[in-house]
Amino acid sequence: MKRSVLLIGIIVMVCLGCNQNEQQAFKEQQVLAEQGNYWAKYELWQAYSKGKYQVTKDQNKADELLADLVQDVYLVSFEPAGDFNPQTPEELLENFNDASPLRSAKESIGGASFFRTKVIDNQLVGSFLTDDTTALKNDIMNNPLLHFLSIEKMTPELFVEYENSIQETINK
């Protein structure tokens, strides 16, 4: 009996520690978000929209953060060109990364973030979210194995759909 009580006490202490760690992480994200860090704002949006960090969901706060997240963010799409026929997201991303220095930035969305793929007409189409459409479009257009498709202004609804999308692969 004493062992059971001791074990329950230890479990409760560990769980309370987890809760405190989650609360501390949430507070740190709040501070970084106030300083303008895009990724911290994204984490807060996750907290309020999905309950991350054991935060009570609050759709109004989530919507405010989401409106801020999509400001000056664009969806850029591209497809393979020439004989390049990637079957997996990894192949397409590797080709892009070999030819472009663009990546997510430390405190902003950066040149190429949130990579996704979709199969359209049995071809893998890639996309990124970016705050630098000119650089991303140029890097795609300068890669002979990629073909630029489009730039679309990000909206809150499109962001949620995009964020929830999965990487698609061509089934062999």
Q: What are phi and psi of 171, to 5 degrees?
A: -80, 125
Examine the fold and report which residue of 69, 84, 104 is the final residue of a domain before the chain moves on.
69
Q: What is the pLDDT of residues 100-129, one digit of tens each?
A: 999 999 999 999 999 999 999 999 999 999
Shared domain for 46 and 84, answered yes or no, is no
DSSP 17: H
Examine the fold and report which residue of 38, 69, 100 is the final residue of a domain before the chain moves on.
69
Q: What are phi and psi of 148, to 5 degrees?
A: -65, 135
Q: What is the pLDDT of residues 43-60, one digit of tens each?
A: 999 999 999 888 899 999
172 within some domain: no
Q: What's the confidence (pLDDT) of residue 22? A: 84
123 has which bridge partners?
120
Number of domains the chain is built from = 2
Shared domain for 87 and 60, answered yes or no, is no
157 within some domain: yes
Q: What's the confidence (pLDDT) of residue 163? A: 93
Q: What is the pLDDT of residues 20-39, one digit of tens each?
A: 788 898 899 999 999 999 99
Kindly indicate the confidence band of residue 1, based on its pLDDT and cuts at 50, 70 and 90: low
Q: Please give the model's pTM, rounded to 2 decimal places.
A: 0.85
Task: Please state the rounded mean pLDDT for residues 86-103.
Answer: 97
The residue range of the domain holding 144 is 74-164
Single out the residue of 104, 110, 102 nearest to residue 139, CA to CA. 102
Q: What's the confidence (pLDDT) of residue 20? A: 78
